[in-house]
Amino acid sequence: MVYLSLAISGENSTYMKIGMISYWACPLTRFGVLSSGGMSVYLYNLSNNLAQLGSPVDIFTRAHREKDERILTIHKNVRVIHLLSESANDHRRGVWTFSKRMLQFISEKKLDYDIFHAHYFYSGLIGIEVSRKLDIPFVQTFHTLGIMKERYGGISSVGRKHDEKLITADANGIITSTPFEKNDLQTFYHADPGKLHIVSPGVNHNVFHPHNKSFSRTKLGLPKAKKTILFVGRIDPIKGLQLLIEAVSILSGKYPHFQKNFRVLLIGGDIASQVFWQHPEVKKIKQLIVKKEIECCVKFLGSRPHSLLPFYYSASDVTVMPSVYESFGLVALEAMASGACVLASRVGGLRYLVKDGVNGRLFENGDSLDLAQKLWELLQDSKKRTQFGENALKSSQAFCWDKQAAKIQSIYKTLL
Ligand code: UDP
């Protein structure tokens, strides 16, 4: 590997060559569209921060289109290597060809790595294969677990759970986002506790920090006077958007002035594409909005550049994260780092991030009435919103990416 400025020296050196395996997510896709979300953001930030700590990183991912450039340098000492995958819909085969191509690429280019880090279960399967063939340890981050998707999202996949068990048994180390995820891996996957390390994802405070509310509204062309409720996320049943729409319809039915004075902004999805509007979840949400007659106060804005999101959080009065399950919930953390008042469901990683009544509020999972009540209380109480926002900003300081990346790097070190 030829890299610029390598900081190699002595026993305490942090220098190591890292191969990220990410079959599913590429850090160069548009966040918030289709399946691109937290995992892509995580990869981007973790890799850049590891490189800043002195370790060059190669991210192996699938080529988006056949003509995609193979290797792109996205940051000093961070490269994205796109491998062609002929089996777009058959991921079992895709994983197999990806492993083969990755090994071939490493051999052809005479690359060597100290450690591999695989993301999501598909990459974990590749991790098993390449780590065995090259005799290099691999670390796994699941991001989400099949068993949780089944429990909360009603999506059953026996094959996925089986694969996750294999990966859990084989990986040299596993990084979990929260103590809850660690517990799930021990309970449902019989993970060896000695392999499990809790390191939460981080937030980039250079991007996510508070802005003046009025300035943000002007910048985004949002009305100054209306109270604004914000949702950010992929439009997917697991994100619980239906609950928010039901809660808004409860409030709109109860308070006659609601529609005139309040506005709900939905960020996520490629609204310029037909595919978006034909997605079953989008159709369901759209129909619900029409049925409840709240079209005039709910707006689909589509996906927004990451760099603009802090302005949306700052411009809004309450950011709602109504997910029926979240292994972590990056959107909540980014909103908190932007000083926003967050109202989230009491599930998964959101329970870890949001301390109810301290740095935000939690509502009971699946309960749109509870969501409506808590949303209304927050919308009526500007002092509480400010207090929660200030405390959220303080809490977010514990999740700086540079610190989180250093913790992950020290886990790698113990495995070399
Ligand atoms: N995101 C974005 N623009 C959008 C929608 C989402 O940049 O229009 C980003 C958002 O900032 C967050 C990620 O996508 O970093 C979503 O992460 P989260 O963990 O909340 O959800 P996931 O998609 O991983 O389930």
pLDDT single digits (tens) 247-276: 999 999 999 899 999 999 999 999 999 999
Please report the pLDDT score of residue 409 as a whole number. 97
Residue 37 sits in the same domain as residue 156: yes
Please report the pLDDT score of residue 154 as a whole number. 79
Q: Does residue 7 belong to any structural domain of this protein?
A: no
Residue 385 sits in the same domain as residue 409: no
Residue 95 has pLDDT above 90, yes or no: yes
pLDDT single digits (tens) 160-173: 999 999 999 999 99
Residue 119 sits in the same domain as residue 233: no
Q: What percent of the chain has pLDDT over 90?
A: 86
pLDDT single digits (tens) 299-315: 999 999 999 999 999 99
Please report the pLDDT score of residue 7 as a whole number. 43
Residue 125 sits in the same domain as residue 88: yes
Q: Does residue 47 belong to any structural domain of this protein?
A: yes
Q: Does residue 4 belong to any structural domain of this protein?
A: no
Please report the pLDDT score of residue 86 as a whole number. 67
CA 313 – ligand 1 centroid, Å = 13
| Residue numbers of the domain that contains 300 | 213-399
For residues 225-242, give the mean pLDDT.
95
At residue 10 the predicted structure's pLDDT band, cuts being 50, 70 and 90, is very low
pLDDT single digits (tens) 148-164: 988 887 777 889 999 99
Residue 31 sits in the same domain as residue 136: yes
For residues 344-372, give the mean pLDDT.
97
Residue 306 sits in the same domain as residue 188: no
Measured in whole angstroms, the distance separating CA 27 from the mean position of its chain's CA atoms is 11
Give the number of the atom of ligand 1 that is nearest the alpha carbon of residue 236: 25
For residues 377-405, give the mean pLDDT.
98
pLDDT, averaged across the chain: 93
Please report the pLDDT score of residue 8 as a whole number. 44
Please report the pLDDT score of residue 110 as a whole number. 97
Q: Does residue 3 belong to any structural domain of this protein?
A: no
321 lines ligand 1 (CB under 6 A): no
For residues 103-131, give the mean pLDDT.
97
For residues 6-24, give the mean pLDDT.
74
Q: Does residue 6 belong to any structural domain of this protein?
A: no
pLDDT single digits (tens) 24-72: 999 988 887 776 789 999 999 999 999 999 999 999 999 876 666 689 9
Q: Does residue 238 belong to any structural domain of this protein?
A: yes
Residue 360 has pLDDT above 80, yes or no: yes
Indicate the range of 92-101, 131-140, 285-294, 404-413 predicted with least confidence.
92-101
32 lines ligand 1 (CB under 6 A): yes
> Which residues are paired to 138 by β-bridges?
116
50 lines ligand 1 (CB under 6 A): no
37 lines ligand 1 (CB under 6 A): yes
Residue 94 sits in the same domain as residue 219: no
At residue 142 the predicted structure's pLDDT band, cuts being 50, 70 and 90, is very high
Residue 140: name the closest of 110, 172, 114, 184 by CA.
Answer: 172
Q: Does residue 250 belong to any structural domain of this protein?
A: yes
Domain at 304, CATH number? 3.40.50.2000
Q: Does residue 8 belong to any structural domain of this protein?
A: no
Q: How many domains does the chain have?
A: 2
Residue 144 sits in the same domain as residue 190: yes
Residue 2 has pLDDT above 50, yes or no: no
Residue 183 has pLDDT above 80, yes or no: yes
Residue 157 sits in the same domain as residue 251: no
Residue 335 sits in the same domain as residue 410: no
User: Considering the entire predicted model, what is its pTM?
Assistant: 0.94
266 lines ligand 1 (CB under 6 A): no
Residue 143 sits in the same domain as residue 236: no
For residues 21-26, give the mean pLDDT.
94
Residue 186 sits in the same domain as residue 294: no
CA 76 – ligand 1 centroid, Å = 24
